[in-house]
Amino acid sequence: MDFVLANWMLILVALVSGAMLFVPALAGGAGGAAAVPAAEAVRLMNREKAVVVDVRESGEYAAGHIAGARHVPLGELEAKLPAAVKNKALPVVLCCASGQRSARAVAVARKLGYENARTLSGGLKAWSEAGLPVEKG
């Protein structure tokens, strides 16, 4: 008991750190957006013909995007995704700048019947940091 009282701050830091590690895992496992790292997204694109959908706004998309990505802003996703990706059986990788908007986009896509919808973990930032190609325009 003396140890706990003398080191309460260290114990608190350990508990908070542990919680920070488990919360994302629990959110992902409980119906949250399935996130794929950049390398897995490339594998899906090459082997399973995954479609990449960029959900950022037009200015962000024009500044740089994944080669071959289709542009459907998040606000228009529900109306325009069926026209952009006709085959609902294909994997769909949704991306944005950091992964926040695309996580919301996965929920919209799944509601529309795209069961293989996933978010690009870390977004375009992680894609660029992995040294993968980005095109402008």
Active site residues: 96
Contact 65, 72 (CB under 8 A): no
